[in-house]
Amino acid sequence: MELSNIEKLLERYFEANATVAEEEMLREYFAKEDVPLHLKEYAPMFQYFSIAREEKFTKQVPLKPRKKSYLKWISVAAVSILIFGIYLGRSYQEQKKAEYAYQETKKALSLLATNLGKGTEKVAYLREFEETKQKIYNKN
């Protein structure tokens, strides 16, 4: 590019009136070796900007996967359901046990009742015996 053109561009550059494309032209121009002496002092500026653009961010960023919290809540829900289930199962079993006990006592009581019935039958004989005994006493 012509020298006068570059000088004009430089002027616009320092007044901040140059466009991005024009600034790119300047950077390209100063990246070359054969810059006239009176412009040489600007060269490091443009070279520096080109070099500064190359700097990279190399550190690794530890990104925690978001699924973790999701899983956590699922496990909390699972545990609570399990505990509730155990509780329900327990109470159901208790109810069954109670029913069984009720049936058993009922059986025992009915056994008792039948035996008691037999007892009263026998007592009826005894009363007859008593009556005849009284008759005999009265006669005497």
Interaction of residue 34 with other proteins, rule CB under 8 A: no
Interaction of residue 39 with other proteins, rule CB under 8 A: no
In 10 A of CB 27, how many CB atoms? 15
Q: CB of 63: closest distance to other proteins in angstroms?
A: 5
Q: What is the dihedral of CA 53, 58, 60, 63, to 10 degrees?
A: 10
Q: CB of 96: closest distance to other proteins in angstroms?
A: 50
* Packing angle, helices 3-14 and 20-31, rounded to 10: 130
Is 120 in a helix, a strand, or coil?
helix
DSSP string, 26-41: HHHHHHSS---GGGGG
Binding residue for other proteins (CB under 8 A) from 3, 8, 17, 74?
A: 17
Interaction of residue 49 with other proteins, rule CB under 8 A: yes
Q: Which residues bind other proteins (CB under 8 A)?
A: 13-17, 20, 23-24, 41-42, 44-45, 47-49, 51-53, 55-57, 59, 61-63, 65
